[in-house]
């Protein structure tokens, strides 16, 4: 019975996905925005989550500014949806026509490629991250961390979509495979800014403590891989803007203990993400509960 339910859910997902397989790119963008316009008035729950998150992140904002940012964010969600479902159709020619990379970011990329080292490519739920997954396969020797979806039919569809352009997908549980690929010179993408619950450490992010995964910093510590932070942003007219920040190699002498070193680099990439979010606030994924887990309050720190 459960399999029937999964299959029916898959059919609904595929119904929404199918137009993105056949429509021209610009039409897909318009269709994605149209869908989120339909959803917006019905989605009171996530609109409230977004507004509450924005109030904490930007305490000086007025209610009008918060309302306007939520509206702008939902429009961005339409573009994100379109990019996510269209992205498997990406080609090298499309990238040449639509990717905008500034000179400094391009220099960082080229110098890193010449070094021939493994790369921890850190990003977040910011901008249009599924485009990043696809161009990793086209432009680099790329891999990505993959979390299995409960519905097996949807899981198979998503894995097929994400690996379309040659990205090697690694299940989140298989850390030894990640280490192996990094030592072979792969660029492994980490979207590490989800709520980590009890598995994470608390670091400051947008005016609140956020439970954060240490995976990127730990892998860099264990393998000697270089850390680059990527913002992949939705630009005007369907263009995609890439911004790269060089976070360097882990310096194990920086602090006396391994945990201290890992905390430092986790705080570093989180701070880099925060700076990018402040520049393009409508493109952060405000509808997810990033700060759901909070430090326990004891009598001593009340």
The ranges assigned to domains in the chain are 1-283
Confidence of residue 201 (pLDDT cuts 50, 70, 90): very high
Give the position of tokens 């860099």: 220
pLDDT above 90 (res 144): no
pLDDT above 50 (res 300): no
Question: What is the pTM assigned to this prediction?
Answer: 0.92
The pLDDT tens digits of the residues spanning 59-72 come to: 999 999 999 999 99
Alpha helices in the chain (DSSP H): 2-22, 25-39, 44-57, 63-86, 92-98, 103-115, 129-139, 152-162, 175-183, 215-223, 258-279
Q: Would you call 297 helix, strand, or coil by DSSP?
A: coil
Assess contact for 172 and 146: CB atoms under 8 A.
yes
Cα-Cα-Cα-Cα dihedral sign, residues 170, 172, 174, 180 = positive
Residue 301 pLDDT: 46
The pLDDT tens digits of the residues spanning 207-256 come to: 999 999 999 999 999 999 999 999 999 999 999 999 999 999 999 998 99
Q: Would you call 90 helix, strand, or coil by DSSP?
A: coil
Separation of alpha carbons 84 and 162, rounded Å: 9
The pLDDT tens digits of the residues spanning 73-94 come to: 999 999 999 999 999 999 999 9
Mean pLDDT calculated for residue range 184-197: 92
Phi, psi of 205 (to 5 degrees): -150, 115
């Amino acid at each position: 019975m459960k399999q029937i339910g999964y299959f029916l859910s898959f059919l609904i997902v595929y119904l929404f996905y199918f137009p993105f397989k056949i429509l021209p790119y610009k039409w897909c963008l318009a269709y994605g925005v149209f869908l989120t316009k339909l959803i917006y008035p019905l989605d009171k729950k996530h609109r409230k989550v977004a507004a509450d998150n924005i109030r904490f992140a930007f305490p000086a904002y007025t209610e009008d500014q918060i309302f306007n940012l939520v509206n702008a964010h939902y429009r961005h969600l339409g573009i994100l949806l379109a990019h996510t479902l269209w992205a498997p159709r990406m080609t090298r020619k499309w990238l040449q026509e639509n990717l905008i990379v500034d000179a400094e970011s391009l220099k960082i990329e080229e110098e890193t490629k010449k070094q021939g080292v493994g790369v921890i490519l850190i990003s977040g739920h910011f901008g249009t991250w599924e485009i990043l997954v696809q161009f990793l396969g086209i432009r680099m020797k790329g891999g990505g961390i993959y979390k299995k979806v409960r519905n097996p039919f949807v899981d198979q569809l998503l894995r097929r979509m994400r690996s379309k352009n040659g990205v090697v997908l690694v299940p989140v549980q298989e850390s030894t495979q990640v280490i192996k690929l990094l030592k072979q010179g792969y660029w492994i993408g980490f979207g590490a800014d989800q709520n980590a619950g009890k598995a994470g450490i608390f670091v400051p992010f947008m005016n609140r403590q956020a439970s954060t995964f240490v995976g990127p910093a730990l892998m860099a510590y264990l393998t000697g891989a270089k850390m680059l932070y990527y913002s992949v942003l939705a630009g005007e007219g369907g263009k995609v803007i890439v911004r790269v920040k060089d976070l360097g190699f882990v310096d194990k002498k920086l602090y006396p203990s391994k945990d201290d070193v890992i905390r430092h680099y986790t705080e570093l990439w989180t701070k880099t993400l925060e700076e990018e979010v402040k520049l393009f606030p409508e493109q952060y994924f405000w509808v997810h509960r990033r700060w759901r887990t909070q430090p326990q309050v004891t009598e001593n720190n009340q």
